[in-house]
Every structure is written in C-alpha cells, then in structure tokens.
Structure 1
C-alpha cells in the first residue's frame, strides 16, 4: 500500500508537472516558438516546370498581449526573408478570445501586415472571426467586414468569391479566393456561409493553373480537379495536439483536415497550423507556423 507521505510526494510532483505543462502551453509555445514548414509539390493540375514559391500565413488573431501589432510586424519581417514569389493570407486577423488585456484595432494590425512584400504581391481572404467580431456586419448582414476594408486600405488584394489571373505571360496562374464558409452566426453553433465556389470558378477563363484560398478546409471535397492547390487555415492544427490526438477541431470532418498536406484523388490541400490562438491562449504540440510551398 502506498504511504501517505509517498502519496503527497506524487501529488506534489503531478501538480508541478501540470503547472509546467500549463506554463509551456500558455507562455512558451504560443508566444516564443515560430516554425517554418516547407512543402515541395508537383500537383497534377500545375504546369510542369512552372516554378512558384508561396509563403502562406494564417490565423493571426490580433490581440493584447498574445498577438500585438508589434509581434505581427516581426512575423511579417521574417516572412519577407523566405524568398516568396507571392504571399498569401488565409484569414482570421481578428481575435475571438476573451482572455485578453486589450484589442488591436484593425488599422494597426493591417499596418503591420502592410510590411509584407513579394514580387507577385500579397493576396488575402477573410475568416470566420473577421466576420464574427464585426457586430455591424452580423446585425445588418453586410457583404463585407471591417477586416476586408482594413486590408484593402493598406494595398492588400482581398478576395471574396473572386478570381484573378496573375504572373508573367509565359507562366500565368489564377488566385481564386472564397468568402468565408461560416460568415454569419444564425444561432447557437449554427452558421451560414457566403462562399460560392461555382461562381468563383466561373471567372477563370483559360487553362492556366489555379490556387484556391479558403479559410476553412471543409470545402476541399467539393473542389474540382481543375484546382492545382487549395490553401486553408482555421483549425490551428487542433491548437492542442496530444501525440496525434486533437480533441477539439472546428470542422465537420473532425481531424480529417486538421493539419498539413492532404492529397485526395490527385488534388492537394495544405492546412496551415496558423499563428495565433482562438478561444483560449493555449497551444500544445501545435506551434505557430509560417508555411512555404514550392510548386514545380
């Protein structure tokens, strides 16, 4: 039988361990770590020999003290050193966390994002928290949010069910960006999306390859073979990843698209682990990351 003294030693040790884990999950991983994750892909729908380096950033969730404008600026300065031909932003610039000491006004986080530079520009979609944190857009069912306007005001291209042909004439491609799939809150745990994939794809007028930006990865089963690569964020890699077990994933597919490179039927999806936190300022086993993708 375990002695009382041994029991309390074990209890104390467990308490110290739990406090250490909590300190890491709340103070080290979300604030002090930043991974750069590289993928090299040759999608079936991408032209052979057509090289493109993508730098993708997702889910900043700007707020004090976890993701202030100064930290966003530092992340952007680092992203500029990664040699991207194009920089893609995958939504959720606004924070939905309650455990904060202050908000970051859209003009301030947008000013930090304006530091991003790439030869083929910076292109963005918005995410569910950009919609949910805009009370006026929710109440009046507006077609865009303050986040859309803040991005445009600093010269960042924002896509809302829109496609644009970019790149040199000898190697063009399309950026297609969906509006958010969870935009309007319509009841407890019920959302209505503003995404329109058929309308977006209908704007593509030639056979140049297509890169699709969609904040939530749930659209992927509906993405046509015509799309070379789909890029998403939203899930934060589960935000808490316990040796492969992700207990909370905001997706109707559970952990199917929680993180990383997915290939289905020759189609490719990359889901970024994102940079900030949602709901609670905790990350464990899912550090903040910038994604670099080389297409060739």
Structure 2
C-alpha cells in the first residue's frame, strides 16, 4: 500500500507547473463548496417552491473521503434545510483509487449518510462504481448490490427505474430515479463496453398527471432521450472533469465528451444540472473542479 506521504511526493514531483500545481491539486480534494442554482423550468407550477440538496460521487475511502468528512458534509447539508436530499451514486471508492487509499466499509459511509434529514426525505440512485465493486452482482447480471442494501439499511430509499409522488405545501410533484446506465462492464479484445439497468420508459410510466417531474440519474448521457415532460434532470458521474486546465477537461467519462461535463445545461427548453461531485476517481487529484454540494431552488 502506497503511503499518503509517498503519494504527495510522487504527484507533487510530476505535476504540471511544479510544486504549486501539485500542492493545490492534492489540497483541493479536501475542500467542499456549496454551488447554488435557482430556476423555474418551463411549466413549473406557480407557488411550488422546492429546495433540493444534491450529493454525488462520494467515493468513500481513507484519507480522501473518510467517515469524519462524510459526517461533516451531512451536517453542512442539514444546516441548509433542504426539502429533499438527492444522492446520485458512486458512494464507494473505485478500483483504481483504492490503490492509493484504504477502504471505508459500507456500514460506515451509509451510516453517516443515514444522518441526513429533510422533511420530504432522502432519495438515492446507484452509480457505476456501486455496481462494479460488487463482483457477485456482476456475475449474476442483476442486483441487489452491497451498496444499495447498505443505503436501505440506513433508511434511505434507493430508486431503480421507479418514481414516487411527493407534495410540498399541497402542491404535488414526481421524483424519479433511473437505474444506472453503466452497471455492467464487459472486456472484449482489449476494449470495454457497458450495459445498463436503466429503463427510462418504465421509470416515467407511473406518472399519471401533469405534476412536474424531477429525474435523478447518475450518468448525464441519458439526457438527449429525456422528454420535455421532465422539468429537471440532475446527474453526477463526470466530477466536472475532475482535472480542468483553463476550463478544459481532457478526460470526461461520457460518450458526448464535454457536452454534459458540468453545470446547468439547457437543450430544447429542457434543463439538466450536472454536479461536480465530491470525491475522486482514478487518482486522488482534483484541479479546477473543486468538490461541491449542489443546492437547487426550483420556482423560487
């Protein structure tokens, strides 16, 4: 196991721009900011004001995202008094990041998230790493996953192609959660392909009225297929590029490149917000894409 000191020394020595760049890139993963958005999507009902807290891509591991840090994030989110908390997947450390870190157990990170409080509940979808780290689920070709079960034991509802009708001040809305689009990975002749458990039609099928819909997804790649009937789609997965140089992200895990890398995107009057997330994937470095909790005020 590489030590934290060795990792700091190695990346610091190799970082572009020398020690200043390396030190910043290694320090940035330990900060957390709150990024606010205020919008009224087309057709959003007058009088429905909804405050959503979004947590994405924790990638729990020591020392980068240990239990104490997760508990601090939970306390901060609770202090913002959201109506709902939306968890967008990748709670576990990826395989590659684990080379530089130590594990945080499922009971530990899910127990910390179990401290989240909101009057309209805490709601979750799974991410690709939550599927990939569970070899038994990979072998079966279906869930449940260890991460999903841990969330449920912590009292958090996990959505897989499902939705629920909620109400704020007598005004109804639908909250939907899509199954992960990259749940299973396949290796063929040196290349990788991904198979999802996502079913957008089934996710939205229970909607029986014209109340607005908020859709939770992990990967933003589904967005071109999301109908205008959905008021807002929220996603994670990209980490905002994780490393951005002068606003450019050289690596984005999306078939669309940087099209959905980060922030508020409007296409054909449809709204998508992509969180930069909180943790790290691949290597424990973030640069130009600081960790964030997203706060969305709809109809405010």
TM range (shorter): over 0.9
Aligned to 1:205: 208
> Does 1:52 find its partner at 2:50?
yes
Aligned to 2:28: 29
The superposition leaves residues 250-279 of structure 1 with CA deviations (integer Å, 9 ceiling, x where unpaired) of: 000000000000001111000000000001
**Which of 52, 59, 62 is matched with 1:61 structurally?**
59
Aligned to 2:259: 256
1:185 CA drift (Å): 0.8
> Does 1:19 find its partner at 2:19?
yes
1:43 CA drift (Å): 0.2
Q: How does 1:194-273 map to 2 (within 5 A)?
A: 194-273=197-276
C-alpha contact 1:259 1:271 (8 A) present in aligned 2: yes
For 1:45 and 1:135, locate their aligned partners in 2 and report how far apart those are by CA, in whole Å: 43
Name the SS for the 1:91 alignment partner.
coil
> Does 1:185 find its partner at 2:154?
no
C-alpha contact 2:48 2:168 (8 A) present in aligned 1: no
C-alpha contact 1:128 1:183 (8 A) present in aligned 2: yes
Return structure 1 stretches of 4+ with deviation > 2 angstroms. Answer: 14-17, 98-101
C-alpha contact 2:15 2:21 (8 A) present in aligned 1: no
1:45 CA drift (Å): 3.4
For 1:247 and 1:99, locate their aligned partners in 2 and report how far apart those are by CA, in whole Å: 22
For 1:45 and 1:234, locate their aligned partners in 2 and report how far apart those are by CA, in whole Å: 28
Aligned to 1:85: 83
C-alpha contact 2:41 2:231 (8 A) present in aligned 1: yes
C-alpha contact 1:220 1:230 (8 A) present in aligned 2: yes
The superposition leaves residues 7-29 of structure 1 with CA deviations (integer Å, 9 ceiling, x where unpaired) of: xxxxxxx9994122112112x10
The superposition leaves residues 28-68 of structure 1 with CA deviations (integer Å, 9 ceiling, x where unpaired) of: 1001x211101100001321221000010100000111111
For 2:169 and 2:119, locate their aligned partners in 1 and report how far apart those are by CA, in whole Å: 15
For 1:201 and 1:111, locate their aligned partners in 2 and report how far apart those are by CA, in whole Å: 30
The superposition leaves residues 64-88 of structure 1 with CA deviations (integer Å, 9 ceiling, x where unpaired) of: 1111111111111001111211110
Between 1:135-144 and 1:69-78, the stretch displaced more is 135-144
Q: Which structure has the bigger radius of gyration? A: 1
1:290 CA drift (Å): 0.5
Aligned to 2:284: 281
For 1:104 and 1:74, locate their aligned partners in 2 and report how far apart those are by CA, in whole Å: 15
For 1:233 and 1:226, locate their aligned partners in 2 and report how far apart those are by CA, in whole Å: 21
For 1:24 and 1:221, locate their aligned partners in 2 and report how far apart those are by CA, in whole Å: 35
C-alpha contact 1:45 1:226 (8 A) present in aligned 2: no
For 2:192 and 2:89, locate their aligned partners in 1 and report how far apart those are by CA, in whole Å: 20
User: What are structure 2's unaligned runs of at least 5 residues?
Assistant: 1-13
Name the SS for the 1:108 alignment partner.
helix
C-alpha contact 1:56 1:87 (8 A) present in aligned 2: yes
For 1:243 and 1:17, locate their aligned partners in 2 and report how far apart those are by CA, in whole Å: 13
For 1:16 and 1:165, locate their aligned partners in 2 and report how far apart those are by CA, in whole Å: 49
C-alpha contact 2:59 2:65 (8 A) present in aligned 1: yes
C-alpha contact 2:61 2:98 (8 A) present in aligned 1: no
Aligned to 2:9: none
Name the SS for the 1:256 alignment partner.
helix
User: What are structure 1's unaligned runs of at least 5 residues?
Assistant: 1-13
Q: How many residues align?
A: 282
C-alpha contact 1:65 1:100 (8 A) present in aligned 2: no
For 2:143 and 2:15, locate their aligned partners in 1 and report how far apart those are by CA, in whole Å: 50
For 1:222 and 1:37, locate their aligned partners in 2 and report how far apart those are by CA, in whole Å: 26
Between 1:134-143 and 1:267-276, the stretch displaced more is 134-143
